Amino acid sequence: MLKFIVRRVFWTIPVLLVVIFLTFIMMRQIGGNPFRQSERAVPEAVQRNLEAKFHVNDPWYQQYAYYVKGVFTFDLGPSLVVRGRDVNDIVKTHFPKSIELGVYAFLFALVLGVPLGMIAALRHNTWVDYSAMFVSNVFHAVPSFLVATLLIYFVALKAGWVPTSGWTSWEHKILPSIALGFGPMALFARLVRGTMLETLQQDYVRTARAKGLRYRRVVGLHVLRNSLIPVVTAAGPLLGFIITGSFVIELIFNIPGIGQNYVDSISNRDYSVVMGLTVLLSVIVILANLVVDILYGILDPRTRDARS
């Protein structure tokens, strides 16, 4: 087991380097000296100092090395547009809000999606199953901005129960979390239903039933536990889903999170911030994949050899 973990962790390092490299190369293609005269009028001497400080005139591989060093020491570089502000500041101010939103959405999806999938599986091929699956298919297909808009329209505007936008009190946080959690909820429901149907047919389930265990106990003890393993594996890709969704949800609810900042930075052509945030999001997804893989190895020993 230790060998598996060590190997998996070591694999992550080249992976990180490749992803940072790809982002780095892509950002370079956008091109231009970031310290163009037109955008930031500074004396020539200052311009030269700036270029020296940020290694603008060094060859690309040295710049890449500097950047990687920065990333591994948690320094994502300065903002090119806002003076005296670096990417770390932006992450520190705005990222917690995005994480909070993502966690609530994830919890919402988990709390509703898992039972929905369970019920559908236990009532397989009945109208309960069909309607649960139809609902989850619809929720999976509806774009989050429609869910968000309808929630705002009916719950915030018509009923007036919660505010329409912002991210301050807990009342503000209800609607965005639900809107972002809808898609993942549908995903969980379908996933849990699928694996549960599979688990229900396993020999050990039949054995447990044959031994005379109550149905409830079999489901709670044997089936559910083994059905939830794939939910853990889904958490990795789901993170990407939630990141994508947060771009839209943060815009609609006017939440000053990372997604909104990302869009603003693109509009302001603040490319060092764009690069920093892209690298950050990618690193998070990669590390999540790592954790998920290790968890999967612990939970399901059969996968260790195949994946190591």
Residues found near another protein in the complex (CB under 8 A): 11, 14-15, 18-19, 23, 26-27, 29-30, 137-138, 140-143, 145-146, 149-150, 152-153, 157, 197, 236-237, 239-241, 243-244, 247-248, 251-252, 262-263, 266-267, 271, 274, 277-278, 281-282, 285-286, 288-289
- 104 or 271: whose CB is closer to another protein? 271
Residue 203 burial (C-beta neighbours within 10 Å; 0-12, 13-18, 19+): exposed
The C-alpha atoms of residue 185 and residue 166 are separated, in whole angstroms, by 24
Q: CB of residue 242 vs another protein: minimum separation in angstroms?
A: 9
The C-alpha atoms of residue 245 and residue 158 are separated, in whole angstroms, by 25
- 78 or 245: whose CB is closer to another protein? 245
- 49 or 126: whose CB is closer to another protein? 126
Q: CB of residue 236 vs another protein: minimum separation in angstroms?
A: 5
Q: CB of residue 277 vs another protein: minimum separation in angstroms?
A: 7
CB–CB of 157/193 below 8 Å?
Answer: no
Q: CB of residue 7 vs another protein: minimum separation in angstroms?
A: 12
Taking only Cα atoms into account, the Rg of the chain, rounded to an integer number of angstroms, comes to 24
- 107 or 266: whose CB is closer to another protein? 266
- 80 or 274: whose CB is closer to another protein? 274
Compute how many other C-beta atoms are within 10 angstroms of the C-beta atom of residue 77.
18
Q: CB of residue 62 vs another protein: minimum separation in angstroms?
A: 22
DSSP 128-196: HHHHHHHHHHHHHHS-HHHHHHHHIIIIIIIS-SS-SS-SSSHHHHHHHHHHHHHHHHHHHHHHHHHHH
